[in-house]
Structure 1
Amino acid sequence: MIFLKKILFLAHGFTGLYYYRRELMERLIKEGNEVYLAISESEDNKLFEEMGCKIIPTKVDRRGTNPIADLKLILSYIKTLKKLKPDAVLTYTIKANIYGSLACGLTKNKCISNVTGLGTSIANGGLLSKLTMTLYKAGLRKNHHTFFQNQPNYDLFKNAGIINENNSSIIPGSGVNLTYHCAEEYPDENSPIRIVFVSRVMRDKGSFELFDAAKIIKEKYPDVIFDVIGPLEEDVDPEYIKELDEKGIIKYHGSQNDIHPYVKQGWANILPSYHEGIANVLLEGSACARPVLATRVTGCKETYIEGETGIGFNVKDVDDLVRALEQFIEMPYEDKVEMGRKGRKFVEENYDRNIVIEAYYDKIFDR
């Protein structure tokens, strides 16, 4: 028998929670549980409130390294935990994972974390990487459970003594809502080929390699369109993006709450990322029956079958990226369609979001 519970989600802000955890929240609420979200303030949070969630405004500086601000965040979490007394705490994103689990350890709350990826602070190595791993060790060691999205990330934390086999497991990313991201009819053969990039626009996502490759491709295939959807991060000059857009190298659409229309009109989804947990945007593209073009790195290579559902290329390698793009462009139309169909089947069999929801229910309710 499942008893009703008070569930607290800790994360940076609206976007990731809404697009990847919404179905979990909806089920929890539908079954009578109380759902609270300690996240940064946003106009979009009203969508959570309409679902029945209760918002606890919590300032989280996602990229900041100010120790005073981070201490304030821990104290804020502790205050929330003592006041709310939740039955389970679910944490996402690096700061919520680290400081949320630390706070739960101090207040003896049941904490379930999700390491969605290493993030730049760990992936780039150096002193910040060592500090981040030390903080993770202090926080996650007392967790009720920690989910990982790929084997290499799991092995890294296990070998570092941060987690063990009894309090951790691997889940298939965030899963894909196969109803919303339905198989779409492939674009007309006579329409322009559109390559869709959905991501934060930043160096670690391979944005600059994509732009350089797009310049080369446009010389040979001027009708190919590169749609870029996502916010600009600090390491990207807005004027450079504006210049690329004005020259027709890319079509920049900014941030969009609904990416499905862009994926639907696209011929393939591309992500030249340096590292990922599991690249959900690629899985969502495959769910819509669109081929994947992605780097052969952890978090991307798991989202496609080379030559069957997508085409891989080497990380930080513009020449190989151009090669992959040309290979896709030159493929017969029927082969592109078939690659998309196989991608849909691959996601149905391996990445249904209901698998992830059930994994959470097992840990929340100790089933």
Structure 2
Amino acid sequence: MTKKIKKVLFCDNNLKDQINFRGDVINSYAADGVEVLLVSPLNCEYKPEYPNIHHIDIELNRSGKNPLRELKYLRTLYRIFDKEKPDYIFTYTIKPNIYGSIAAHLCKIPSTAMIAGLGYVFNKKGIGNWIARNLYRFALRFPEYIFVLNSVNRKIVLEKRIATERQLILLTGGEGINLEKYKSKNHAHKIFNDSSSIV
């Protein structure tokens, strides 16, 4: 990402997880004056903290395997990306990673895919999962970078030829967590202190 980002798009499989897990990143971009677009199914109430954050509701069957619905999802993403023309696109979870990466490539927009976990697609057999694995392998040729959260996933992604070593970035510390929002209750400390009264 060499040019200054004026508009960034986050594509996920539902809005609730999008704001729970990526809210701080989203707000950070918005605080810097970047226009932020969230593309995901609407499954919760959401009032953005900044006026330059906008949500685009989109239909997605997370576990569906109907080819026509999958093509419809891809076409809808393509139309959104082509209309909005963001400077950069981030995709999360399996279907947004697959179809979002393809749509971004068709629109000539650089993107990054986040693989938080490989899940059932790589753990279970069956024609549907075989197709999904090959779609993953095809689609993930296109992102500029691919983030993985642990060395096991990194190894599998390389062994299955889903991505190249040049693309992969291992986030050794994870995505990060807001310690002000999720405070530790430190039960162990309380138990240790109380143990002094036990005979």
Query: For residues 158 and 4 of structure 1, what CA distance do their matches in structure 2 show?
Result: 30
Query: For residues 115 and 126 of structure 1, what CA distance do their matches in structure 2 show?
Result: 21
Query: For residues 55 and 144 of structure 1, what CA distance do their matches in structure 2 show?
Result: 24
Q: What residue number does 1:5 align with?
A: 6
Q: TM-score normalized by structure 1?
A: 0.49
Per the TM alignment, residue 3 of structure 1 is displaced from its structure 2 partner at its CA by 2.4
Q: What residue number does 1:273 align with?
A: none
Q: What residue number does 1:22 align with?
A: 23
Query: For residues 160 and 33 of structure 2, what CA distance do their matches in structure 1 show?
Result: 39
Query: For residues 31 and 22 of structure 1, what CA distance do their matches in structure 2 show?
Result: 14
* 1:119-158 matches, cutoff 5 A: 119-158=119-158
Q: What do residues 215-262 of structure 1 show as CA deviations (whole Å, max 9, x unaligned)? A: xxxxxxxxxxxxxxxxxxxxxxxxxxxxxxxxxxxxxxxxxxxxxxxx
1:14 is matched by which residue type in structure 2? L
In the alignment, which of 183, 192, 197 is matched to residue 334 of structure 1? 192
3-state SS in 2 of match to 1:162: coil
Per the TM alignment, residue 336 of structure 1 is displaced from its structure 2 partner at its CA by 11
* Contact 2:65-2:128 at 8 Å conserved across structures: no
Query: For residues 174 and 63 of structure 1, what CA distance do their matches in structure 2 show?
Result: 25
Query: For residues 3 and 129 of structure 2, what CA distance do their matches in structure 1 show?
Result: 40
2:25 is matched by which residue type in structure 1? L
**Are the structure 2 counterparts of residues 2 and 26 from structure 1 closer, same or farther at C-alpha, using a change threshold of 3 Å?**
farther
> What root-mean-square deviation, in Å, do the aligned CA atoms of Structure 1 and Structure 2 show?
2.4
Tell me whether 151-160 or 27-36 shows the greater mean CA deviation.
151-160
**Are the structure 2 counterparts of residues 161 and 30 from structure 1 closer, same or farther at C-alpha, using a change threshold of 3 Å?**
same
| Residue segments in structure 1 that go unaligned for 5+ positions in a row | 190-332, 338-367
* 1:235-314 matches, cutoff 5 A: none
Query: For residues 159 and 187 of structure 1, what CA distance do their matches in structure 2 show?
Result: 40
| Residue segments in structure 2 that go unaligned for 5+ positions in a row | none
Query: For residues 336 and 131 of structure 1, what CA distance do their matches in structure 2 show?
Result: 56
Q: What residue number does 2:73 align with?
A: 73
3-state SS in 2 of match to 1:143: coil
**Are the structure 2 counterparts of residues 159 and 107 from structure 1 closer, same or farther at C-alpha, using a change threshold of 3 Å?**
same
* 1:76-115 matches, cutoff 5 A: 76-115=76-115
3-state SS in 1 of match to 2:183: coil
Q: Which structure is larger by alpha-carbon Rg, 1 or 2?
A: 1
* Contact 1:10-1:92 at 8 Å conserved across structures: yes
Q: What do residues 132-160 of structure 1 show as CA deviations (whole Å, max 9, x unaligned)? A: 11101111101111101111111111122
Q: What residue number does 1:51 align with?
A: 50
**Count of aligned pairs between the two proteins:** 192
Per the TM alignment, residue 179 of structure 1 is displaced from its structure 2 partner at its CA by 2.2
**Are the structure 2 counterparts of residues 146 and 188 from structure 1 closer, same or farther at C-alpha, using a change threshold of 3 Å?**
closer
Q: What residue number does 2:166 align with?
A: 166
Query: For residues 8 and 61 of structure 1, what CA distance do their matches in structure 2 show?
Result: 20
Q: What residue number does 2:178 align with?
A: 177
Query: For residues 15 and 194 of structure 2, what CA distance do their matches in structure 1 show?
Result: 35
